[in-house]
Amino acid sequence: MSSINNFLLEKQLSTISTTVPDRLDYLMRLHNLTNIALSEIMCCAESTISGYRTGRRVPDIFVICHLSTIFGVTPNYFLGFTDEICPTHN
């Protein structure tokens, strides 16, 4: 069972490491935000945002939540667990 869990974890991390940069780039373009503008909103270095967009850096869960709030999407969207950009309310 451990090897199955490790495989699934590696697959999820692989998906996240490619999905987060793509979705961040898409949302930044959609909102006409530059690396500098988002770094000022996030109170971080421009190189940090650049790293997230290129996949050189993987944001932690707190950063994902902060980005989700800024862009009005769910963390699940950012992480690639759903393609729904906005949550649906039942």
Residue boundaries of the structural domains of the chain: 2-79
| DSSP class of 72 | T
Choosing among 3.40.50.10470, 3.30.70.2190, 3.40.50.12280, 1.10.260.40, the CATH entry for 2-79 is: 1.10.260.40
Amino acid 82: pLDDT? 85
Amino acid 3: pLDDT? 65
Alpha-carbon distance values, 90 to 84, 87 (Å): 14, 10
Amino acid 83: pLDDT? 84
Specify the pTM. 0.80
Of 13, 5, 10, the C-alpha closest to 79 is 13
DSSP three-state, residue 35: helix
What backbone phi and psi angles, to 5 degrees, belong to 43?
A: 55, 50
Amino acid 29: pLDDT? 96
Amino acid 70: pLDDT? 96
Q: Can you list the residues of the chain whose pLDDT is less than 70? A: 1-15, 87-90
The amino acid that residue 40 corresponds to is: E
Amino acid 33: pLDDT? 97
